[in-house]
Structure 1
Amino acid sequence: MNLRTLLWFFISLLIVPEILAESAPDTSGFDIKYLRLELNASDTSAFISGKAVCKSLITHDLQNICFEFSEKYLVDSVLVNHFPASWMHQNNLLNVYGHFTADDLFESEIYYHGNAGGSGFFSGITNKKDAQWNIPVTWTLSEPFAARDWFPAKQVLSDKIDSSEVILTVPPWCMAGSNGVLAGVDTLPDKRVRFHWKSHYPIAYYLISMAVANYQNYTLYARPYGLDDSLPVVNFVYNIPSLLESSKKDIDRTKDFIEYYSALLEGYPFPDEKYGHCLAPMGGGMEHQTMTTLSNFGFLLVSHELFHMWFGDMVTCASWSDIWLNEGFASYGEYLALNHFEGKESADAWMSQAHAFAFAMPEGSVYVPPEEADNVYRIFNYNLSYKKGAAILHMLRMETANDSVFFKALRDYLQRFKYSVASVNDFINTFQQVTGKDWQYFFEQWYYGSGYPVVQIEWQQIGNHLLLNIQQHGSSSKTPVFRFSLPLTFYYPGGDSTVTIRIDQAEQSLAINFPRRITGIAADTESDVLAKVTVIPMDTSGKYLLIYPNPAARKVALDFYTKDVNRTITVISLSGQVIGKLNSRESHLELDVSHWTPGVYVVMVTENNIRYAARFVIP
């Protein structure tokens, strides 16, 4: 023990806090390098006892270190560098006092016990019986702000813990799952069992986990891309033989998911450790690093949580405003898995449902503004962060129109921010660099913007000329116009063809040369484009408008059958060029066409909610 440590010990005992507690946690000034949790736990209660050992680097001089920690726990003692320290535990904050000097490493040991168990999905620690299998389970879920409900935490996303250990002592009938590799299992003299989990990969505070129950271990092995050896897939399943037998097929599919995702993204993020699952009656799943906690082994849940190992765990969102990088991407992982293993029809059905969730929130934005980033239910809004988030990522892929470039951009993003954090702007910058294209417009409307486009397309075919009149508005006035590509399928006797058009204005006209007689047009929005699109033939019945003379040499007259109605009149050529546009309430108009180029022209009219068209010829 050196002199500096002894001096620090005496100084810390003399420091007395000037205020009882801070109104908001200030957990700055130190960088956590290592965390070890040594806890006693059981499957019948959320009560835990033990200690948290934290090694940190001081980044600037401090008089106290602040951890977030639930007041439901009693702190028994605090040591700093193995000596007792002054501390105060109040308002869910644990302040440890002393003289902390910049660039010093220090170790804190916090001994505590108590029960902060809750019943909601976002409770930090929960004890509950799985009603279906009559198995009690204790598990943790720290995302986004609940790590403090089971250990003293620095809940700052940018401060990843460099390495960690979770050592859990449980009753003899229990097993305990956590992050990393199982370094040892010891039976104690009182028959309790100690599980020692260890990880050397950086980890965000909310991904530290434990799950305790009467489990059995079912381990299989995957061969991820780029890994010479096999990767263990460790599954802690309730110790009920019939459950394991009925679940094996679904569990075994995890191996296929790992191999597919790792090939797509060129590697598994934690190759020296494992992947795995712990069952718990949580009503969903949580992507705890290397060992997901989940309530079942369904296709979508398993694929979603696994994809988080890349998007969320290896690269973590830099702030909760950037949650799209976690949940939107993991949701898209579901789509990718469906497309690869079940086929395009299943994937398209999934995306169509994702669109329906987005359509249910016409004012919604994927972006979570900072003032809403402390609201758990806004951060994890299923319609926006998950489903719309996946839909716009798919649209980005469609707009890129090159899968090799799109997935290279994803891989470059992962490598650039590997084992760290990233913001949406970081992703945008990476994507632009890889594709060599400016994508700001895309993110301004689809990510930061609100709602989705509502489009009406009217069409008319004159010989080989197909005229399209396109009008769009945003479901939200905050984003009135969107720019995007829209595939249209043209149906004709004996077949169909798909043509992609570009929509980028509130109103536009397009002319397409198409030699076959079109019987119908449909927009392919179910699976690729997040837009509500209506396609209808133009009304050319003549019941609203009479044009004469036709052909017209010098003047053409327009007689409208409805009187005193405000209408918008647009004249376009067969090339799609807008010749003129005006608003009028007159029921009779005359156009001077003496200097117009000979050809066929179409008059398109909008009045109230009615749209119709007629054509005339200049010989």
Structure 2
Amino acid sequence: MRIGPAAVLAVALTLGACSADSEAKPAKSARSYDFRPGAPGAGDPYFPTYGNGGYDVAGYDLDVRYDPKKGDLTGKATITATATQDLSQFDLDLAHLKASAVTVNGTPATSKAAGNELVITPAKGLPKGEGFTVVVDYGGTPGQLANKTLGEGGWLRTADGAIALGQPESASTWYPVNDHPSDKATFKLAMTVPDGLTALSIGVPGERTSAGGWTTWRWTESSPLASYLSTVVIGKYRVETGTHDGKPMVTAVPESLPANGPAAKSVARTGEITDFLATKFGPYPFDAYGGIVVDDNRIRYALETQSRPTYGQGFFAEENPVVVAHELAHQWFGDSVALERWQDIWLNEGFATYAEWLWQEHAGGPSVADSFTSMYNGYDWSQAPGDPGVAHLFGSAVYDRGGMTVYALRKTIGDAAFDRLLTTWTSQYRDGNATTADMISLAEKVSGQNLDEFFQAWLYGTKAPPKP
């Protein structure tokens, strides 16, 4: 077709405009991706294979059914997360149980079991910074995780139910999880058990429903938690419910223990003890209170499961509010402010031991100074709490020398600075993670002192530091 002069001019003007627009708005280049598998561990110096890399979990939403007679568990886990790298494949921790179906963003994904890992390959890569949702249908016969040094933890079958509990890992024995404290996430549980049994967990209790001989108990913990701080306890329990400071209070004692015995009396003081600790550590950080006592001789410890600590009945030969104070102190030190790595566990246990001394003084027992002096005199200083090693992760240095370190810090920087340190720490790192380096930095900031020599002597030295 022949083009006349006017048309030629119009085309020229149009081309000129397009050329100018192209210069003003250069075309964006497509992003290049580097899709690769996430690491099969979080890289903790003590436990390199615990947890996983490549993503950050925001929340777990679990729908689980347990048959105590058969010992069988089935579940559906909905996990929301964000990719922290271009992700072609990622792992979830899942021990003893098998996945029957996995989807990522609603699309079927490939999965395989590799030891205690569930290796998931999505249908397409997950770009860094993008959120995604994983749904895992799974089931089997849950059990314990064996640790040659620290013993067993995880799902423990009982005569009438089960107890899921343990530190440093336990969650992977009953749901797919990134099982390391560095990846905190919210937690929802719908636990279905036969009628007549109780299913206790953490957080705020929800609606309870029954159908066909089964009852579903619902619990929601909206504050992010380290996965080992989740639990479920199934059995025949006396449950006391109420409110404290406008929040739900749930305490439970097995029917096998006296209704008004020392265990029940001890956990009944949860609100009173929490209120006292809040005057030292700042506002209580969670939406619910409580405590669970378990009557099983295989559990000889207490654990600071978030918002509702769990206690072995062996602590309650007589009324024992001191252990309650210890576990409630962890709600600030260890739960709300969680570990970034297991090496720094003195941050949990040292402050909880110090809280025991505070409570004893408050209740008319020995002063904090006397408790410190009694511990200091004749103490074996060969073990240091700052880097205790796996074999001494729960050793006396972490607890006792950790507690002495806290008190010595108070005496070194003075009560006013120490009080600011506690409340600043629990507010600044609330719902997050922190390290020993963070504690040293904050202590120096609030006190205006160089504390390198102090912390080196108290956390890492093998000789008695000078008594403050």
TM-score range, shorter chain: 0.7 to 0.9
Quick one: which amino acid aligns to residue 247 of structure 2? L
Query: Which of 374, 378, 381 is 2:392 aligned to?
Result: 378
- Secondary structure at the aligned position of 2:350 is classed as helix
- Secondary structure at the aligned position of 2:223 is classed as coil
- Once the two structures are TM-superposed, the CA of residue 193 in structure 1 deviates from its matched residue by 0.6
Cα distance in 1 for residues equivalent to 2:384 and 2:262: 41
Aligned to 2:425: 413
Aligned to 2:136: 110
Gaps of 5+ in 1: 1-14, 130-135, 224-229, 453-481, 486-619
- Once the two structures are TM-superposed, the CA of residue 75 in structure 1 deviates from its matched residue by 1.8
Matched, 1:127 2:170: no
Aligned to 2:346: 324
- Once the two structures are TM-superposed, the CA of residue 142 in structure 1 deviates from its matched residue by 4.0
Cα distance in 1 for residues equivalent to 2:362 and 2:72: 44
Cα distance in 1 for residues equivalent to 2:267 and 2:88: 50
Q: How does 1:509-520 map to 2 (within 5 A)?
A: none
- Secondary structure at the aligned position of 2:269 is classed as helix
- Once the two structures are TM-superposed, the CA of residue 154 in structure 1 deviates from its matched residue by 1.0
With a CA cutoff of 8 Å and minimum separation of 6, indicate the structure with the bigger relative contact order: 2
Quick one: which amino acid aligns to residue 152 of structure 1? P
Query: Which of 290, 301, 319 is 1:284 aligned to?
Result: 301
- Once the two structures are TM-superposed, the CA of residue 274 in structure 1 deviates from its matched residue by 3.1
Query: Which of 373, 382, 403 is 1:390 aligned to?
Result: 403
CA contact (8 A) 1:181 1:273 kept: yes
Cα distance in 1 for residues equivalent to 2:105 and 2:191: 23
Aligned to 1:368: 387
Cα distance in 2 for residues equivalent to 1:61 and 1:141: 34
Aligned to 1:180: 203
Quick one: which amino acid aligns to residue 155 of structure 1? D
Query: Which of 64, 85, 107 is 2:109 aligned to?
Result: 85
- Once the two structures are TM-superposed, the CA of residue 26 in structure 1 deviates from its matched residue by 7.7
- Once the two structures are TM-superposed, the CA of residue 169 in structure 1 deviates from its matched residue by 0.4
Bigger proportion of residues as strand: 1
CA gap 1:447/1:44 in 2 versus in 1, 3 angstroms: farther
Query: Which of 444, 452, 458 is 2:456 aligned to?
Result: 444
Matched, 1:35 2:60: yes
Max radius of gyration: which structure?
Answer: 1
CA contact (8 A) 2:267 2:321 kept: no
CA shift digits 1:404-429 (9 cap, x unpaired): 32122111111111110010110111
Cα distance in 2 for residues equivalent to 1:393 and 1:246: 30
Cα distance in 2 for residues equivalent to 1:348 and 1:103: 50
- Once the two structures are TM-superposed, the CA of residue 220 in structure 1 deviates from its matched residue by 4.7
What is the TM-score normalised by the length of structure 1?
A: 0.62
Cα distance in 2 for residues equivalent to 1:320 and 1:240: 36
CA shift digits 1:49-94 (9 cap, x unpaired): 2122111111221110111221x22221112222321111112111
Cα distance in 1 for residues equivalent to 2:89 and 2:408: 49
Cα distance in 2 for residues equivalent to 1:144 and 1:25: 9
- Once the two structures are TM-superposed, the CA of residue 178 in structure 1 deviates from its matched residue by 1.1
Quick one: which amino acid aligns to residue 311 of structure 2? L
CA contact (8 A) 1:279 1:295 kept: yes
Moved more, 388-397 or 293-302: 293-302
Aligned to 1:339: 361
- Once the two structures are TM-superposed, the CA of residue 403 in structure 1 deviates from its matched residue by 2.1
CA gap 1:392/1:24 in 2 versus in 1, 3 angstroms: closer
Q: How does 1:168-567 map to 2 (within 5 A)?
A: 168-188=191-211, 190-223=212-245, 230-239=246-255, 242-244=258-260, 247-270=263-286, 272-281=287-296, 282-296=299-313, 298-344=320-366, 350-351=371-372, 354-355=375-376, 359=379, 361-368=380-387, 372=389, 375=390, 377-381=391-395, 383-400=396-413, 402-452=414-464, 482-485=465-468
Cα distance in 2 for residues equivalent to 1:25 and 1:290: 24
Quick one: which amino acid aligns to residue 378 of structure 1? H
Bigger proportion of residues as helix: 2
- Secondary structure at the aligned position of 2:327 is classed as helix
- Secondary structure at the aligned position of 1:313 is classed as coil
- Once the two structures are TM-superposed, the CA of residue 244 in structure 1 deviates from its matched residue by 3.7
Give the superposed CA RMSD: 2.8
Cα distance in 2 for residues equivalent to 1:107 and 1:424: 34
CA gap 1:45/1:299 in 2 versus in 1, 3 angstroms: farther
Cα distance in 2 for residues equivalent to 1:26 and 1:331: 28
- Secondary structure at the aligned position of 2:291 is classed as strand
- Secondary structure at the aligned position of 1:429 is classed as helix
Cα distance in 1 for residues equivalent to 2:327 and 2:420: 22
Cα distance in 2 for residues equivalent to 1:51 and 1:399: 52
Fraction of identical pairs, as percent: 25
Cα distance in 2 for residues equivalent to 1:247 and 1:27: 38
| Residues paired across the two proteins, number | 414
